[in-house]
Amino acid sequence: METASLRAFVAVADNGSFSLAAARLFLSQPAVSKRVAALEGELGTRLFDRIGRTVTLTEAGQTLLPRARHILLELEDSIRSLSSLSGEVQGTLRFATSHHIGLHRLPPVLKQYVRRYPQVRLDIRFMDSEQACHAVEIGELELAVVTLPPDPADTLGTECIWRDPLAVVAACDHPLCAMKRPQLSDLGAYPAILPASNTFTRQIAEAAFARLALKLEVALSINYLETIKMLVSVGIGWALLPQTMLDRQIRALPVKPLALQRQLGSVIHRDRTLSNAARALKQMLTPAGETPP
């Protein structure tokens, strides 16, 4: 059984599409179809039902999927362990980051990294922090640089790199800005613009309201902080944003006793060997409170 066929099978299962799997694997769609067909021929059973554009796992496919993941993870871990013996920093580094961190925190580090390690091919995935943590957990990615989960899975190792204080913000002409000392209850009277309910930032806001038994009215749920900032600036609602995003378009509200912050940092799998490329990037990310090299 060829590992290339297993990779194609897992990619199609994860993406629910042969074309999306082909894009993820940097292959043509016919090549992916051929590999899956070869695996089905070898096993003597269909792994996918193809109805129109919909691709779903058969019972055999559902049975094979966790075993295929395990085989590929063990193989990749073995390869990384052997490669690390050479001490060379090269190969492909698959890691994820959020759009906000990728825009505002990572550029200086990545600039230094690509100059120092030109032999490394970076495969950077931009995704929500929650999805990135899951991808590390199942072995799809080696590393994630994201908003750290408040309650990470036991298999994940996290390290805080940046502390990210949050501010309650609104447009300068919003009614909340006319209040000298707005309270949390005042916020409840106006709609909010926050990330989706499964995000760590949203959970921080909901926990603050829940402690005072207050209702949080969310007008819009958007996971891109830059988009939320734009919507706030035109007066659609208030939001919870990093203090680093404050400018003349929006104003921070002195809501007491609210003092919230996120922790941004790295996420790895505790039981898997990091490649030299991943280890080098992790070392270049400076933990909070330390002086950069």
pLDDT at 86: 63
What are the extents of the domains in the chain?
3-65, 84-162+263-284, 164-261
Q: Is 134 exposed, middle or buried (0-12, 13-18, 19+ CB in 10 A)?
A: middle
CATH fold of 84-162+263-284? D-Maltodextrin-Binding Protein; domain 2 (3.40.190)
Tell me the CATH architecture of domain 164-261.
Answer: 3-Layer(aba) Sandwich (3.40)
For residues 42 and 4, is the Cβ–Cβ distance under 8 A? no
Instruction: Say if pTM beats, i.e. exceeds, 0.85.
Output: no
Structural Rg of the chain based on CA atoms = 23
Say which CATH class 3-65 falls into. mainly alpha
251 three-class SS: strand
Q: What is the pLDDT along the chain (293 residues), one digit of tens a residue?
A: 688 899 899 999 988 999 999 988 888 999 999 999 999 999 999 999 988 778 999 999 999 999 998 888 788 777 766 666 666 788 889 999 999 999 999 999 999 999 999 999 999 999 999 899 999 998 889 999 999 988 889 999 999 999 999 999 999 999 999 998 888 888 888 999 999 888 888 888 888 888 878 888 898 999 899 999 999 999 999 999 999 999 988 999 988 767 788 899 999 999 888 889 999 999 999 765 444 44
Same fold, 84-162+263-284 and 164-261: yes
For residue 137, CA distances in Å to 43, 62, 89, 141 come to: 28, 19, 23, 8
